[in-house]
């Protein structure tokens, strides 16, 4: 096991993968050996060369702050000798060459009439309002009584949520938009949009929005308003059978990686995250982007401290402008409630080796790999450009994974140091930052990122990419095996 890992060739700090003791001599890639002058806890940074007071400290190829004192080679770099300064204004512009990851690999997907590709042939039931969600369970029970194997579908996904009524203005519009986004997701081989009748999220409005966005395929999308029929269950079963018949001949076919859209996020990173799971997600992003595919990262508040650095990664002026718009809009949202969007690290973060807000942001951005940003999206807007996209959404795993699914990510891949059973309405891949967690929560974790600590990174990364392509081709995720799906909508307004 490497005791110290340098995450980028331009870094002047390395990350400890285990607790290290002063006076130890530790091998460092490209050096004969580094004698430690202080103890270095796991996950923390150690200077691999002398850093003068006021000089930049570089991690992941990015400036994370300036030294507040002279730092010796082999010395712990933490809150005692590092602070935010002008780091964000001095970020390097990433110009990575991803061509080494290009290939002719394919996955087995479902080509839709619209031209989009799904990695699942699922049946979606989308309620316009939360008060009717209990009825959906009965509908599924009746359908499964006839089709215990889900009929023509891989999964039956209920997009339950508590909204759709007593909402005002932008809050109401946002709920309607995300539900329409979900109804048009390429993973859905059939969709039943189910309404009550008296909610303010009226079915006519949903139909109009969906029709404007992509048109309505009556063979694949049905609409039912409970108050307008005598027996909503009988009507639902007839519609579900029609959807089942329409999907009967759907089949997988080879599809290039350019048709893959992946959401990337993190949940409660631990000290190992930047070296293990986040690093794997970054490699996945590089592979997908190198092959003309699409990746999406979000959690805007966490990224905000490195705003200038992310803007410099924009592929063009238009993308840079959109990135600034996303940050401005989220900043205004926080301002409405008198909260600061950028939060400084505290004792909990210090223990994990995170010293500055910029470092926290750089760690979070690592999951997007090394590509430049091709676009930035307001919440609820569909992906329009291949490559790396920034999506407006808060730093909340439930909302963020749903937001990424809503913009047409066919799967969401999450780096996690604590594990969570939550999944969105698309396959949700959980990558553990350490092997202990992967062993403990086998029913939740799809991939053990902790393998990186004991095996060559390139070998683990190859296995990881193989797993992701297998999942895109039909291999079930742990959330699918357990029947866990969900939808969380970003609520921004008051309840009427």
Could you tell me the CATH number of the domain that includes residue 126?
A: 3.40.1400
| Residues 433 and 311 placed together within one structural domain of the fold | yes
How sure is the predictor about 495, in pLDDT bands with cuts at 50, 70 and 90? confident
Residues 81, 137: one domain?
A: no
Instruction: Note whether 241 and 272 are same-domain residues.
Output: no
**Domain assignment of residue 161, given as a range:** 122-246
Both 238 and 362 in one domain: the answer is: no
pLDDT at 87 over 50: no
Q: In this structure, is residue 443 part of a structural domain? A: yes
Residue 476 to residue 402: CA distance in whole angstroms: 19
Residue 465 has pLDDT above 50, yes or no: yes
Look-up of token digits 């995300």: 178
Give the pLDDT confidence of 370-409 residue by residue, as tens digits: 999 999 999 999 999 999 999 999 999 999 999 999 999 9
Edge-first strand listing for the sheet containing 447-448: 373-377, 387-391, 294-297, 261-267, 411-416, 428-432, 447-448
Cα–Cα distance between 247 and 285 in angstroms, integer?
A: 31
Looking at 246, 269, 298, which one is the last position of a domain? 246
Torsions phi, psi for 135 (to 5 deg): -70, -25
Residue 115 lies in a domain: no
Compute the C-alpha angle 248/254/259, nearest 5°. Answer: 100
- In eight-state DSSP terms, residue 463 is H
Give, in degrees to the nearest 5, the angle at Cα 299 between 476 and 281: 45
Are 318 and 378 members of one domain? yes
Distance CA 158, CA 160 (A): 6
What gap in Å lies between CA 38 and CA 78, rounded to an integer? 12
Q: Are residues 288 and 332 in the same domain?
A: yes
| Band (90; pLDDT cuts 50, 70, 90) | very low
Burial 211-232 (b: 16+ CB within 10 A, else e): eeeeebeeebbbbbbbeeeeeb
* Position 300 pLDDT exceeds 80: yes
pLDDT band at 419; cut points 50, 70, 90: confident
- Residue predicted with more confidence, 312 or 89: 312
State mean pLDDT over 26-42.
90
* Sequence-ordered list of residues with C-beta below 8 angstroms from that of 29, at least 6 positions apart, any chain: 2, 6
Looking at the fold, whether 279 and 427 belong to one and the same domain comes out as: yes
Residue 236 and residue 196 share a domain: yes
pLDDT at res. 73: 96
**Domain-embedded: residue 55:** yes
Q: Which whole number is the average pLDDT over 62-66?
A: 95
Task: Give the pLDDT confidence of 129-159 residue by residue, as tens digits.
Answer: 999 999 999 999 999 999 999 999 999 999 9
Looking at residue 492, what is its pLDDT?
A: 87
Residues 81 and 131 in one domain: no
Would the pLDDT of 88 be above 50?
no
Asked if residue 472 belongs to a domain, the reply is: yes
Q: What is the pLDDT of residues 333-379, one digit of tens each?
A: 999 989 999 999 999 999 999 999 999 999 999 999 999 999 999 99
Q: How confident is the model at residue 93 (pLDDT cuts 50, 70, 90)?
A: low
Q: What is the mean pLDDT of the chain?
A: 95
Largest CA distance in the chain: 80
Domain count across the chain: 3
Boundary residue ending a domain (194, 223, 246): 246
Per-position DSSP letters for 246-267, written without gaps between them: HTTT---EEEEGGG-EEEEEEE
Q: 151 with 64, same domain?
A: no
- Both 356 and 387 in one domain: the answer is yes
Structure tokens at 320: 């840079």
172 and 275 belong to one structural domain: no
Domain final residue, candidates 90, 113, 147: 90
CA atoms in the 13 A half-sphere facing the CB of 182:
32
Predicted TM-score (pTM) of the model is 0.95
């Amino acid at each position: 096991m490497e005791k110290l890992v340098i995450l980028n060739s331009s870094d002047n700090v390395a990350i400890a993968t285990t607790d290290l003791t002063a006076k130890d001599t530790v091998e460092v890639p490209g050096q004969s050996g580094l004698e430690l002058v202080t103890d270095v806890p796991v996950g923390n940074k150690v200077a691999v060369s002398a850093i003068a007071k006021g000089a930049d400290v570089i991690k992941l190829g990015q400036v994370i702050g300036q030294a507040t004192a002279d730092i010796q080679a082999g010395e712990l770099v933490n809150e005692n000798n590092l602070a935010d300064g002008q780091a964000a204004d001095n970020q390097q512009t990433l110009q990575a060459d991803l061509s080494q990851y290009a290939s002719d690999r394919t996955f087995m997907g479902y080509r839709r009439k619209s031209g989009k590709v799904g990695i699942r042939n699922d049946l979606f039931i989308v309620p316009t309002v939360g008060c009717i969600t209990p009825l959906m369970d009965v509908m599924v029970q009746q359908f499964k009584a006839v089709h215990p194997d889900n009929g023509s579908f891989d999964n039956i996904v209920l997009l339950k949520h508590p909204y759709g009524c007593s909402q005002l203005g932008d809050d109401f519009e946002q709920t309607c938009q995300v539900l329409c986004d979900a109804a048009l997701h390429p993973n859905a081989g059939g969709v039943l949009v189910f309404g009550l009748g008296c909610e303010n999220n009226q079915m006519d409005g949903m139909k109009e929005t969906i029709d404007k966005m992509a048109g309505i395929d009556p063979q694949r999308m049905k609409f039912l308003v409970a108050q307008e029929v005598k027996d909503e269950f009988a009507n639902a079963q007839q519609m579900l059978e029609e959807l089942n018949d329409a999907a009967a001949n759907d089949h997988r076919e080879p599809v290039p990686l350019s048709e893959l859209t992946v959401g990337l996020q993190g949940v409660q990173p631990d000290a190992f995250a930047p070296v293990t799971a986040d690093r794997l997600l970054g490699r996945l992003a590089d592979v997908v982007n190198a092959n003309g595919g699409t990746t999406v990262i979000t959690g805007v508040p966490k990224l905000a401290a490195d705003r200038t650095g992310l803007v410099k990664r924009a592929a063009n002026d238009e993308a840079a402008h959109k990135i600034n718009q996303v940050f401005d809009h989220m900043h205004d949202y926080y301002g409405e409630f008198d909260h600061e969007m950028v939060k400084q690290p505290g004792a909990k973060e210090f223990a994990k080796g995170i010293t500055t807000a910029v470092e926290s942001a750089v760690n979070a951005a690592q999951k997007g790999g090394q590509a430049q940003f091709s676009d930035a999206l307001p919440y609820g807007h569909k992906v329009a450009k291949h490559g790396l996209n920034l999506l407006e959404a808060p730093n909340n795993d439930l909302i963020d994974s749903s937001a990424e699914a809503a913009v047409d990510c066919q799967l969401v891949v999450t780096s996690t140091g604590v594990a969570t059973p939550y999944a969105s309405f698309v396959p949700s891949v959980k990558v553990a930052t350490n092997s202990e967690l992967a062993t403990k929560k086998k029913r939740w974790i799809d991939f053990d990122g902790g393998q990186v600590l004991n095996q060559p990174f390139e070998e683990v990364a190859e296995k990881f990419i193989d797993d992701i392509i297998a999942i895109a081709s039909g291999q079930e995720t742990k959330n699918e095996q357990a029947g866990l799906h969900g939808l969380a909508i970003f609520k921004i307004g008051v309840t009427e």
